[in-house]
Amino acid sequence: MPFANYKFPEGALNAEQKEEIIHRTTSMFVEYFGEGVRPYTMVLVDEVADGGWGRADETLTIAKMQAMTRGSD
């Protein structure tokens, strides 16, 4: 059974965006493995509390991510 688990900061996505992620991920698995995997594909979209995760020994928050994004424009 194909399985994907996405984790996003809480409140970063609305219901429509989550639904799109689920549909697009399912389509990707079908593209790789064939239509037979569609009914067995599991996609979880988890929301993590702001500041509840980190990368490279740094706690990340939505504010920090927005600042990094603005800096890369």
Task: Express each pLDDT in 8-49 by its tens digit.
Answer: 888 889 999 999 999 999 999 999 999 999 999 999 999 999
Task: Express each pLDDT in 39-69 by its tens digit.
Answer: 999 999 999 998 888 888 988 888 887 787 7
Domain extent, residue 63, equals: 3-71
Q: How many domains does the chain have?
A: 1
CB 45 within 8 A of CB 21: yes
Nearest Cα to Cα of residue 15 among 23, 5, 4: 23
Count of alpha carbons within 13 angstroms of residue 4, beta-carbon side: 15
| d(C-alpha 66, C-alpha 57), whole Å | 18
pLDDT for 73 beyond 60 = no
pLDDT above 70 as % of the chain: 97
Which three-class secondary structure state does DSSP give residue 67?
helix
Which pLDDT value is given to residue 68?
79
The CATH code of the domain that includes 17 is 3.30.429.10
Which pLDDT value is given to residue 55?
83
